Structure 1
Amino acid sequence: MQHRAGSSSSQARTGMPLGSEVRLELATRAAGLGIWDWNVLDGTFDYSPRAREICGLPPGDEPLRLEQVQARTHPHDLPRTHGLLLRALDPQIRESASYEYRVVHPDGQVRWVVAYGQALFAPVDGEVRAVRYIGTLQDVSQWRQLREALETSQARLQLAIEAGRMAVWEVDLRTETMVGSPELNRLLGFPEDATPTMEQMRAGYPVGERERLHARMVEALARGERFVECELRYVWPGGEQRWLLLRADIRVEDGQPARMMGVLMDITDRRRAEDALRASEARLKLAQRVGRIGVWEWELPSGDARWSREMYLLFGLDPDAGITPDEAWRAGVYPEDRVGVDKAVRQSTESGQPVDIEFRIRANGETRWILSKGTPVTDSDGRRRMIGVNQDVTGAHRERIALEDRNRALQEAALQIGRERERVFELSRDLFAVAGFDGYFKVVNPSWTRILGYEPDALLARPFLDFIHPQDRGSADAVLACLRRGHVAPPFENRMQCEHGGWRWIAWTAVAEHDRIYAVGRDVTQEKLAAQELEAANRQLRDQIESRERVEATLRQMQRLEAVGQLTSGVAHDFNNLLTIVLGNLDLIEMSVEEPRVRRRLELMRQAALRGATLTSQLLAFSRRQRLEPKAIDLNGTVHGMGELLRSTMGGSVAVATRLQQALWSALVDPTQIELVILNLAINARDAMPVGGSLTIETANVTLEAEPRQPGEPAPGDYVAISVIDSGTGMDEDVRARAFEPFFTTKGVGKGSGLGLAQVLGFAQQSGGGVRIESRPGAGTTVRVYLPCAQAGAAVKEEAPDDHAHAEPLAQRRFALLVDDDSAVRDVTAMRLRRLGFEVLEAGSGGAALDLLDRMEQVDLLIADFAMPGMNGVEVAQQARARRPELPVLFVTGYADQTALAGVGEERVVQKPFRDDELERKVRAVIGG
């Protein structure tokens, strides 16, 4: 800072001797540097004269403020320089780095400067702070211009290389190493990021190509040349062959080639174009020869002419015979045609327009037609020429004459067709019409009068929509809109009003051209009537087919039921015999055991056996082989009586409600089985509501008129319906279709036998009714059971209490003859009879029983198993009654065949396994107490 070199204050700030400052000032002036010193504490700047000159600040030695310095900084660079300043003054960072930015002089000149500064830190008020910031400035505008010019030059060079698709390369022939631009990999067929070796690059030379290239280089060096240029073939790694142009400069050291530098360009497209051009020229010569096209050239005004070989051949002359074009022309062209050709050529020459003319020649004694086309051209020296081609068009000329003859014949035929179409238009039984988009007919044929009764004038005077049925006008408007858009209208039908007031169905086909609509209509009224009759017949046929399908579905269901029934009947007897043995022996053991834990175990065994009996009962009910006792009952009373049982079965999470119809008809059903049905459906509904819900029992009088649509549904008639409605998960179509299948269940393993709904269906159908299910997923399920009505006036029977449930043994000694082929069942049954006071005679077959009956004088009761080998229980009873007509008979059975026991009252049949005191009660009933 020359202007303050002698100032003591300056010495105090910098701590430098005066001589050092002078030397520093001289050094900075020589280097073109400016120096600045910022006193951070008072915010003043000292700028050297060079620094002020660089920044465009006014000369002088007065201190500067920060605002003055920032005012000279380019606005776009100010945020960045300010951020760097804060980092330099931060005691934690203390960044000292050079940075470039722009300054703006007062005259608008923009200069680039490089600033370098370093902050001095000292304690101030107990805190380390920046107290001074000293640095240098250098004007680098000229250097930046040179750098930008260099970058621009390099960019242009790179652009030229990229535009020319050239690769720059250098090879050291002594070390056999190569470096090249990125484009080199693309030209040699390698990936952009690959680094191929010399061996990999040499592998692309076809056989002999590398040797040819080396020979060219040796020849150039022998001639004293250092530049080599040649085209070569190269095969990419994928097998594709390319053509490359090599241009190289050879550097020689110690008399030997040492290095090569140059460029490589892909000229494959150019080579292919040249090959295509040569092939095209060859094809052109071939085409001229095959197509008999001759080329000629005529100079004006000298009249000198040159002909190709094909021209002589066109005229039937030998090209090598030495005949001049003028001689050939005069000898070959018809004289009358030559005059016209000469005139056309002169006119073309004067106007500069091409000539196109046909003429006749005589070649080899035959007349031929030649098409000549020529164009006048003027050379650079002013000479005028006519260049053209001649082609033999004799065949085309003859075809054109024939075509003209055919066209005349076709025109005559078209006139005849027009006359015939006019005749068809007049005589056709279809409706022909031409209409405009203004909505009026323009032309109609006589069929309109014949079919609809209107005269043509009446049709043309009114809008055609007036003749269309009001219900069909919407579709007619849609067709008109389609035709207005230029689209093809599909065939359509509508009703047209007759003059006498009726309607006719017309099938239309219409097209539009310009502003006209051309339409043809056919009367299809009779077809419509026939179609309606056919549709009615089809509906009747579909109804018959659906009815047959329902019958077939019902038959298939019955066949399945029959199959399960046969299976059930085969095992029911034996299974019930086993349960009879189990339950009977449990009774005996229970009578002799007082230990509570043992009795509890015995009770569990009893419950298990009873569940087995219930399962057998369900199977029999499903297969309709269980014996029912239908009675006239009041279903409302049955539901009331089951209220407490249903609420306890549902638990606290399911609300139970009833909707019972007043004046409900009596139902003719088995009272015990209907309670099981209601309970079964309620349990199914509870399982479908795992998180709770509502259950409703509903009764109603129902009269059905429609035929059943699904197997299991009731036939038309009067029914008493009881419905179980839940708010559970519901069923989808597949589950609902299979709901009545035996053993089908959606419950988990061990949670259902799959016989609940099957038992309900079996009971309803055996009683003379049916079942319907209404359900949707998430919307709950309604199972509606239809039961037959009791006859009018039938009394509703109440079950009498069982007065003999715990009666004492018989007062007098009685004898019972027990017949059963199963000894264990016999033993249990005999035990129960002895408890009643009977003396029991046991027989294992029907024959043995009849022998005992013949030997014993006193037999008070015959108890026979129904299903026995050889002679069943009914046959034993018949023969026993033949011997002793007054002998009471009681049947025990595990499977009550309804046909065989049709004449036996329910009071004389005991179902195995014996439940509670049913055997004792019925024994007392048949022997009179």
Structure 2
Amino acid sequence: MQHPAAPLATQAPADKPAGEARLDLATRAAELGFWEWNLLDNSFVYSPRAREICGLPQDDAPLRLEQLQALTHPEDMPRTHAMLLRAIDPDIRERLPYEYRVVHPDGEIRWVVANGEATFAAVDGVTRAVRYVGTLQDATESHQLRRALETTETRLHLAVEAGRMAVWEADLREDAIAGSPELNRLLGFPEDARPTVDQIRAGYAPGERERLQACMRDAVARGDRFVETEMRYRYPGGEPRWLLLRAEIQLDDGEPARAVGVLMDITDRRRAEEALRASEARLQLAQRVGHIGVWEWELPSGDARWSREMYLLFGLDPDAGITPEQAWLAGVFPEDRIAVDEAVRRSTEGGQPVDVEFRIRAHGETRWLRSKGTPVTTPDGRARMIGVNQDVTSTHRQKLALEDRNRALQEEAVQIGRERERLFELSRDMFGVVGFDGYLRAANPAWTRILGYDTHSLLARPFLELIDPQDRPAARSAMAGLKRGNVAAPFESRMPCDHGGWRWIAWTAVAEDELIYTVGRDVTHEKLAAHELEAANRQLRNQIEGRERVEATLRQMQRLEAVGQLTSGVAHDFNNLLTIVLGNLDLVDMTVDDPKVRRRLDLMRQAALRGATLTSQLLAFSRRQRLEPKVIDLNGTVQGMSELLRSTMGGSIAVSARLQPDLWSALVDPTQIELVILNLAINARDAMPTGGSLAIETANVTLAESQGLPGEPEPGDYVAIAVIDTGTGMSEEVLARVFEPFFTTKGAGKGSGLGLPQVFGFAQQSGGGMRIESRPGMGTTVCVYLPRAHAGSVADPPAPDTRRRDGASPQRRVALLVDDDNAVRDITAARLRQLGFEVLEAGSGGAALDLLDRNAQVDLLVADFAMPGMNGVEVAQQARTRRPELPVLFVTGYADQTALAGVSEERVVQKPFRDDELERKVRMVAGV
């Protein structure tokens, strides 16, 4: 933005009027700065406070436009500049405050709020802005407070979510429960549900309600108002959960009246406790099976207790009456006993665990035991050590065997090193070691034989300098990947020779310990031979591929250009015309009682609707239609169409449905999916001229990987619907072209060639895909994959309650309608008046905003999207700046579905209006 800050004067005169003095006092108290911009001579004036806010020197030096532009933060410049242009535009004259950042010369960033108003006058016969005057206020602290508040609210929400906690309140006398939305989630109900007390108690385990009531009575009897207990609960779907209930009981006349508290899901904790108990049981079993001895030693008395397994480890009979001290002195090697005693002494003094190994003599042989113990203190203050002993003789024997093996391997490694050294010296390939600093650390003699450089010259230069400059980027990228720990793919590079010329070297490399080990093979002769062979064939191959590419591209461009121009150029105007036709037909139909005339009106309406369907088919193929995806049950959709399908197929075709139970919900446009099923069924009927059978199947499908074929969906979960016929089938040539627009095998006038392309476009736009299997004479299976609706998907919103309360008088509601097409606007206004609105009509965005400024009550803005000048979205944005809570509804016949991509489905009505769509969405958006 060009900075809009400039004071009117640096100091008020001493004899200024009282009104101006009070104004100065108010502005100083509010810490406001004044600014003025003279647009005739492009001069600026700032007050001292404005200079202070902007970080400018406190002097009378003239200010330049470039100096002021440099103050605005670069990220805020486009937005503030656009608002400035609207403020000085004679046709707009916007007076909105705008908040942005200024950057002081010392780098400090401050948030400021500018309010300004432009003065307009005729200059050379043209009305233009001559002065732009306003105030400037430092808003840094308020901005920081807002950010801190938003952060605090976010953290609080995360804490509640992480703790899986819900707040509730119960009226014990009225037997009613109320809670936060988290209570529904905690009890297994939808967030927007309002479960009754009976529905909640249905999840109690048998006897749980009585136990909770007894807990409350006992607490009251003890004079305690707080209750905490764990309870079992079962979700409506059957999943068992454990909940922790904490409540405060409020008394009325000595009797419990209300209870307020929280509910927490402790299922994971209970499961962990149960797992711990099971783990302890398994540990005890493992000790018995694994012959692990457990011991306790009481300090300082020296009294010890051994488990039965301890005696067995020492080769003694547990029932022989031998004390642990006797067994210890008789079995442990004397030199090891001293080491164990010293380790135990250090452990008890330092309070640290002990881990020591020692030898014993048992069963006539030497055994190794490993002892682990931990010092503990009993509640009465006595010191003890508890631990386990385990026989690790086999481990020691394996260790000795491993040491012998390591010595043998070391000898083998020395021999291999000598062999590798000879290979390094004699190899015809270039062996090298490159440090992460880019310099060669070692190079074998093959470098000198191939490139001519001596070893000293090679080690004194970075490795990349030895590579031709054109090939250095690939080598540099490979080295960077090796430094990051990645595996480098083999690469080739040219290397100049010391004696002139160059050689092609094919490299492989690996990195280890900040060193890169490389092997380079001279492939110059192979490269030259391949280059000559490629040059010999390149011209012919290029001619053939070029001709095929040009022909294929031309055909594709012609098809896509035809469809693209048709959909983009015709859809908007055609939908507007159909809106006028259908709207007027509805209005005329209300005034006609003659059955013959009404029948002709119905014929006209059906023809107009077929035109709308044709437009929808064209948009479906080009993927420019606007879909309204909803969570639907495909089994219900198929069942609801059964009668229509049977009547469409005729008596010679048997229709059946094979619907999968527990079918996932699909997230698709309900109207379009019905057209898809009907379209595929009609194609199947045409492929069975002498009769046959048609089956419709549904299934849950999980694709693990993509097949890479045209129309195939990406990996994921899908709800599949398949149409299977026993008709003539398709050849491979026809199957390869089924998705091409206007391609058909039917006779002239019997098919448009848009059927399967329309289905394909709808499936891909919905996030799915298609698969077709067919053989001549064997029938055809067309499977459409539709996205699965996961948890959290939005289903059809409930229709707003439009019934008027008893005794309530109708409320006056005003709608502002803007559409540049007079006929369409007339029809839309008539529909809105039928819904009880008073309608303000405007033919452009500017006129609509002017009506909005001049009318205090506007309850709904209905805007056409495609209009000259300001489109509907821009009008809505301007209207929202004036009235942030104003509901907005868009009507559009525009072909490109991305035009309103940021607007929710319930706020868009597609032309032409069908059935009660306009009424439903007006009531939904306006809340009437």
TM-score bucket of the superposed structures, by smaller chain: 0.3 to 0.5
Q: Give the TM-score of the pair, scaled to structure 2.
A: 0.38
Q: Give the TM-score of the pair, scaled to structure 1.
A: 0.38
Highest CA radius of gyration, 1 or 2?
1
